[in-house]
Amino acid sequence: MASGGYELRLIEDSIAAGGALALPADGINRVIYVVHGAVAIDGQEFGDDQAWQGRGAARMTAGSSGCALWRWELAPTASAAVLGAATAAAS
């Protein structure tokens, strides 16, 4: 195992209607679960109780009612979590 290891993170993202959150091309494996609302992830639509899985860059755009998401990341321990910095997204 590489020095430093990995950690499993759980981050809750809230994105206002029409708002967006962009995740970088950092190679981190992610699962995004829609708690409620609707979101488009890289153009693919997801609603309540649906999930997306991918690696690296992704753009999440909330639907007309906004959305609440749970985001799991398997990331190197030394890496920083991506948190919503815009007024339309909070983590």
Q: Give pLDDT tens digits along the chain (91 positions).
A: 456 799 999 999 999 999 999 999 999 999 999 999 999 999 999 999 999 999 999 999 999 999 999 999 999 998 888 886 555 666 7
Residue 81's pLDDT is 85
In contact, 69 and 21? CB cutoff 8 Å: no
Residue-by-residue DSSP string for 38-56: EEEETTEEE-TT-EEEEES
| Torsion angles phi and psi, residue 26, rounded to 5 | -105, 0
Q: What is the SS3 assignment for 84?
A: coil
pTM: 0.87
Q: Which residues contact 9 (CB under 8 A, 6 or more apart)?
A: 71, 72, 73, 74, 75, 81
Lookup: tokens for 40: 């488009």
